[in-house]
Amino acid sequence: MAKGRASAQNLKRDPLMEQYVATSAWVKDRSRPIVKWLTVAAVALAVGGIIWMFMSRRAANASESMARAMDAHEAMVANPIPPNLSPGQVAFTSEDEKHRKAYEAFTKAANEYPSYNGDLARYFAATHQLHFEADKAEATLKELSQKDSDVGAQARLALAERYEAVGKNDDAIAEYQKLKNKPGPIPPALIDVSMARVYEAMGKTKEAADLYFAVANNKDLRSTGLGATAVTRLTVIAPEKVEQLPPPESTTPAFPGGMAIPGR
């Protein structure tokens, strides 16, 4: 045998060769299960990819559907409709047409994509439906107002305003009170001013004045629209309370250090 050449017997005892032979035998014995699980994994990945693509496309379609409904919600009303509308701008010739078209668009968005648009689209649909099918819209707002969510709070506000508009003042106060206890995204000052307005309509001047005063007395609200409304109404129904309000903060420009600019 030539020097440096391994014999067949030595090759068989070579650790690397033995490992290769053992691995080959193991793979051969288990080739079917391995192929099976590789196939299962490939199928799972493919199915996952298809589901992801489907969900992404559905989410995009839901967003587009809601966007079209919002275009109707924010549409211009003019008769005749101007010929130079900007791209994507929507216009209707009457408020009635606008409300009906917006209702249809939001209802479609809610029905076709309930898991994406659902309650929000139904809320907007109801606010437009109030103008031509008030009873049905009111029923929807009642249902939505029971939900512990931002949409639920918005629906309760719309329901209270609906009651106020038709003179159901006791019902309006009840809904505003529920909203005050759990306002969600609704500013508490807005709820107070709204309740005060209803109390005024009911002739309950003291209750109204107390709520207006609470808003007007808040230095952070005094310069806002709600604060101004509260002060204005106080001057009408309880002028003596206006005198109890702190003076509004000065907006006079000042030098560094707080000194007022002379002559200003």
Q: Quote the mean pLDDT of the chain.
A: 83
- 67: its two tokens: 């966007």
Residue 77: in which H helix or E strand, if any?
strand 76-77
Higher pLDDT, 10 or 57: 57
Percent of the chain with pLDDT over 90: 60
Can you give the pLDDT at residue 255?
Answer: 45
Mean pLDDT of 221-233: 93
Mean pLDDT of 80-109: 92
Question: What is the C-alpha to C-alpha distance for residues 102 and 127, in angstroms, rounded to an integer?
Answer: 10
- 27: its two tokens: 């793979």
Higher pLDDT, 152 or 40: 152
Can you give the pLDDT at residue 244?
Answer: 92
Digit-coded pLDDT (tens) for 65-93: 898 999 999 999 999 988 888 887 899 99
- 89: its two tokens: 């701008």
Q: Which residue do the tokens 């589901």 mark? A: 51
Can you give the pLDDT at residue 42?
Answer: 66
pLDDT beyond 70 at 167: yes
Long-range contacts of 73-78 (CB under 8 A, 24+ apart): 73/102, 73/105, 73/106, 73/124, 73/128, 75/101, 75/102
pLDDT beyond 50 at 117: yes
pLDDT beyond 90 at 48: no
254 phi/psi in degrees, rounded to 5: -130, 150
pLDDT beyond 70 at 43: no
Digit-coded pLDDT (tens) for 232-259: 999 999 999 998 998 776 554 444 444 4
Identify the band that residue 101 occupies on the pLDDT scale cut at 50, 70 and 90.
very high
Mean pLDDT of 150-154: 96
| Beta carbons within 10 angstroms of residue 59's beta carbon | 13
Can you give the pLDDT at residue 116?
Answer: 85
Percent of the chain with pLDDT over 70: 72
- pTM: predicted TM-score of the whole model, two decimal places: 0.73
